Chains A and B, each alone.
Chain A
Amino acid sequence: MCLAIPAQISRLPADDDPLATTDIMGVRRRVNIDLLDADPPELGDWVLVHVGFALSKISAEQADEQLRLLSLLGEASAAQEEVEGYDCGDGE
């Protein structure tokens, strides 16, 4: 729940749909990007996801660092489990 997981936007949402498709730790999941209203992500952008919601935009380099940090902290598998558990956005 406290993990911030980097995800790359692979498809932008259709009109009025707050869910963008992302590649997130090798899994395709849809995440909510409503909280990035002020500066919406574009295709290929990286975001930090908390419990299925993107809270901030980050650079590709920061995304790499965050993945490495999760792994060094021994939290990569917890993050993977969380990502695979996102049910809301899956299936299109």
Chain B
Amino acid sequence: MKYVDEFRDPTMIARAFEEIRTLADPARHYRIMEVCGGHTHAIFRFGLKDLLPPNVELIHGPGCPVCVLPMGRIDDGLELAGDPHVIFTAFGDMMRVPGSQGSPLESKARGADVRIVYSPLDALKIAEANPDRQVVFFAIGFETTAPSTALTLLKARANRVRNFAVFCNHVTIIPAIRAILDSPDMRLDGFIGPGHVSTVIGCRPYEFIVRDYGCPIAVSGFEPLDILQSLVMVLRQLRDGIAKVENQYARVVPWEGNLAALRVLAEVFEVRAHFEWRGMGFISHSALRLRGEFAEWDAERTLPIRGVCVADPKAAQCGEVLKGVLKPHQCKLFGKECTPEQPIGALMVSPEGACAAHFKYRGAPQLVTLG
């Protein structure tokens, strides 16, 4: 067996595949969810899933922030962007995500002042440079980006920047995992936990998966060897009939997380009662909003936002794909009406969305090859 030699330790990769084959009981079928979109991308890119035994199935989870954002929130944001007084700022990943009236990019083409920023600090800087305009930052992301928004808000308050507002769409991963575990049409045997989210929240928050659902989880890095080693950890637990939280990515993820980040999150944000996830419906306590002390920077409190709910296009089956009930190519629109160039569902937009990853790498040569 040989592997492309750019990888860290090809012998270890071979050994991990071997161990997975030994651990997987041929009489069982294993359904293991990788929660994070970064893992989904790597799994498709390196062709890992095709090299696993057929009874070890990887289910692609909800951990891609642009993929889970419901159309209504995009529509709400773009309605603000339509005001000529407003400069609307968002991460580049958001630009092609379709709302019911088009994407931010299309809104820009229609004349709205929509600008890409790479850091929330840049949005604040635009506000400071344009005191006669209202700058809105469309904040999205899990716990990896939420602390950045929080620190930016603290800076806006310290510098008394009055024309800066955050339209907060930050979501948290734990309630989404719980919703998936509670979903009646899902049966999962274990999880590959998100790497970078865990640098912030640590490993403790996953303990409920073990305690309440008896499922193993291994927090994982993003290289092929990392993902395979995490699978080994999960399969070994399943063989031994135990469930615990393991940290494969300990070289980056501290067990307790990043306390400074958790502190700033708690200072600036509070948990919303409900938040809608694209394809998954409303999930309780699954998102963040600004605390009352930051009301004057909260777009939802100071600017006209209708809070619209828009149903996903009927033919698209993003929800089923997001929950792992359908594979991307089993959706009726996959590769036909819905492609990365003309996405209908958000899973087709980002390289971390399961549909875009599947589309991009289908038939592609595998970087990890059996020799």
Complex Cα gap A72–B367 (Å): 9
User: Cβ of B252 and Cβ of A48 under 8 Å apart?
Assistant: yes
Q: How large is the interface on A (under 10, 10 to 19, 20 to 34, 35 or more residues)?
A: 35 or more
Interface residues, chain A, CB within 8 Å of chain B?
Answer: 1-2, 4, 18, 32, 34-38, 48, 50-53, 55-56, 58-59, 62, 65, 68-69, 72-75, 78, 81-83, 85-89
13 A–B pairs (Cβ distance < 8 Å), ordered by A: A1-B93, A18-B151, A34-B260, A38-B260, A51-B91, A52-B121, A68-B6, A69-B222, A72-B6, A73-B351, A87-B119, A87-B125, A89-B121
User: Cβ of A65 and Cβ of B91 under 8 Å apart?
Assistant: no
Top-8 shortest CB links A-B: A52-B119, A88-B121, A85-B118, A1-B91, A37-B260, A87-B122, A53-B148, A1-B93
- Known: A1-B140, A35-B261, A38-B260. Is A55-B8 also a contact (CB below 8 A)? no
Complex Cα gap A53–B140 (Å): 15
User: Cβ of B120 and Cβ of A51 under 8 Å apart?
Assistant: yes
Which of B34-42, B103-111, B183-191, B295-303 forms part of the interface with chain A? B34-42
Complex Cα gap A77–B301 (Å): 38
User: Cβ of B196 and Cβ of A50 under 8 Å apart?
Assistant: yes
Which residues in window 62-121 of B have CB below 8 A to A?
A: 64-66, 91-94, 116-121
User: Cβ of A82 and Cβ of B118 under 8 Å apart?
Assistant: yes
B358 interfacial by beta-carbon distance below 8 Å: no
Task: Looking at the assembled complex, report how far the CB atom of B164 sits from the nearest CB atom of chain A, in whole angstroms.
Answer: 13
B18 interfacial by beta-carbon distance below 8 Å: no
Complex Cα gap A34–B199 (Å): 15
Task: Looking at the assembled complex, report how far the CB atom of A55 sits from the nearest CB atom of chain B, in whole angstroms.
Answer: 5
Contacts of B259 in A (CB 8 A): 38
Complex Cα gap A4–B42 (Å): 14
User: Cβ of B122 and Cβ of A50 under 8 Å apart?
Assistant: no
Complex Cα gap A85–B367 (Å): 30
Given contacts A68-B6, A87-B117, A89-B121, 6 further A-B contacts (CB under 8 A): A2-B93, A4-B196, A32-B151, A34-B260, A51-B141, A72-B6
- Known: A81-B92, A86-B119, A87-B122. Is A51-B252 also a contact (CB below 8 A)? no
Complex Cα gap A39–B199 (Å): 14
B28 interfacial by beta-carbon distance below 8 Å: no
- Known: A72-B45, A74-B351, A88-B119. Is A35-B140 also a contact (CB below 8 A)? no
Complex Cα gap A20–B41 (Å): 31
Complex Cα gap A9–B125 (Å): 23
Partner of A73, one of B42, B122, B148, B260: B42
B271 interfacial by beta-carbon distance below 8 Å: no
User: Cβ of A88 and Cβ of B122 under 8 Å apart?
Assistant: yes
User: Cβ of B119 and Cβ of A51 under 8 Å apart?
Assistant: yes
Which residues in window 1-40 of B have CB below 8 A to A?
A: 6, 8, 37-38
How many A-B contacts are there with CB distance less than 8 Å?
A: 123
B258 interfacial by beta-carbon distance below 8 Å: yes
Task: Classify the interface of chain A: helix, strand, loop or mixed.
Answer: mixed
- Known: A1-B93, A4-B196, A88-B119. Is A50-B251 also a contact (CB below 8 A)? no
Which residues in window 116-171 of B have CB below 8 A to A?
A: 116-122, 124-125, 140-141, 144-145, 147-148, 151
User: Cβ of A55 and Cβ of B222 under 8 Å apart?
Assistant: no
Complex Cα gap A11–B224 (Å): 34
- Known: A34-B260, A35-B258, A48-B252. Is A53-B93 also a contact (CB below 8 A)? no
User: Cβ of A73 and Cβ of B41 under 8 Å apart?
Assistant: yes
- Known: A37-B260, A52-B122. Is A2-B45 also a contact (CB below 8 A)? no
**In this complex, what residue of B is CB-closest to A31?**
B119
B354 interfacial by beta-carbon distance below 8 Å: no
Complex Cα gap A73–B367 (Å): 10
Contacts of B151 in A (CB 8 A): 18, 32, 34-35, 53
Contacts of A62 in B (CB 8 A): 251-252
User: Cβ of B264 and Cβ of A35 under 8 Å apart?
Assistant: yes
Which residues in window 32-61 of B have CB below 8 A to A?
A: 37-38, 41-42, 45-46
Complex Cα gap A1–B260 (Å): 21
User: Cβ of A73 and Cβ of B199 under 8 Å apart?
Assistant: no
Contacts of A50 in B (CB 8 A): 144-145, 148, 196
User: Cβ of B122 and Cβ of A55 under 8 Å apart?
Assistant: no
